[in-house]
A and B are shown apart, each in its own frame.
Chain A
Amino acid sequence: QSALTQPASVSGSPGQSITISCTGTSSDVGSYHLVSWYQQHPGKAPKVMIYEVSKWPSGVSNRFSGSKSGNTASLTISGLQAEDEADYYCCSYAGPSTLGVFGGGTKLTVL
């Protein structure tokens, strides 16, 4: 199973919005409404921010939103804040009897 494709880095200024893309195939992202997004600060464990493409876990800000079109999922962060600076990973279900597949990660810099 190949990793999903994410841009290596994105940046934005405080208050702006940014979008991170996550491209898979018809075997993973394209076939299932089961994409999740994780935020990871340096030296910390990942934290789920979005699941099932666009749902928020309890306690996650609604400044984070997710969507999907075809084989590409997207994470949008609106009203950027300094604390949003982190690495972001997408992950997709890839079928029964398989493990999920992660994207390579995107480093978000808040300018």
Chain B
Amino acid sequence: EVQLVESGGGLVQPGGSLRLSCAASGFTFTNYWMSWVRQAPGKGLEWVANIKEDGSEKYYVDSVKGRFTISRDNAKNSLYLQMNRLRAEDTAVYYCARWHVWGSYLDYWGQGTLVTGSS
């Protein structure tokens, strides 16, 4: 059974940093691109970042470029999102998701972790 379990969310002051983690199991992690998608309270979904199977390619939404870094540790079957210089508008539930690259769809999602940027 495919499982994605996020952790690391919490309350952080604007300008602060946070590192989200996503533990993957039930599939061959090295065969898949992985993604982070966020959802602000009461709002829609926003694709935040993608990372290739081997970590050699990474893509970001414009609003987080230069502040967020997506990474993965294939030996640990884990995905990460390092979030620096957090802003109030980064407040959202952050979902880890597996990207089925050939069909371009997110086929498995974690339960999400809440990041609140507030003073």
Q: Which of B19-27, B73-81, B82-90, B98-106 contacts A (4 or more CB under 8 A)?
A: B98-106
Is B53's beta carbon under 8 Å from chain A?
A: no
| Chain A nearest CB, measured from B72 CB (Å) | 16
Q: In this complex, which of A48, A97, A104 has the most chain B Cβ atoms within 10 angstroms of its Cβ? A: A48
Is B112's beta carbon under 8 Å from chain A?
A: yes
Q: How large is the interface on A (under 10, 10 to 19, 20 to 34, 35 or more residues)?
A: 20 to 34
**Contact: B105 with A91, CB < 8 Å?**
yes
Assembly CA distance A104 to B42 (angstroms): 11
Assembly CA distance A100 to B99 (angstroms): 10
- B104 contact set on A, CB distance < 8 A: 32, 34, 36, 51-52, 93, 100
Is the contact region of chain B dominated by helix, strand, or loop, or is it mixed? strand
**Contact: A105 with B44, CB < 8 Å?**
yes
**Contact: B103 with A101, CB < 8 Å?**
no
- B110 contact set on A, CB distance < 8 A: 45
Is A30's beta carbon under 8 Å from chain B?
A: no
Assembly CA distance A103 to B44 (angstroms): 8
Is A89's beta carbon under 8 Å from chain B?
A: yes
Against B, the Cβ 8 Å flags (1 = close, 0 = not) of A1-40 are: 0010000000000000000000000000000101010101
Is A46's beta carbon under 8 Å from chain B?
A: yes
The 7 nearest A-B residue pairs measured at CB:
A36-B105, A51-B105, A93-B104, A34-B104, A45-B109, A105-B44, A99-B47
| A residues whose Cβ falls under 8 Å from a Cβ of B | 3, 32, 34, 36, 38, 40, 45-48, 51-52, 55, 57, 89, 91, 93, 97-105
* Interface pairs (6), CB distance under 8 Å: A32-B104, A36-B104, A45-B110, A48-B106, A101-B47, A102-B46
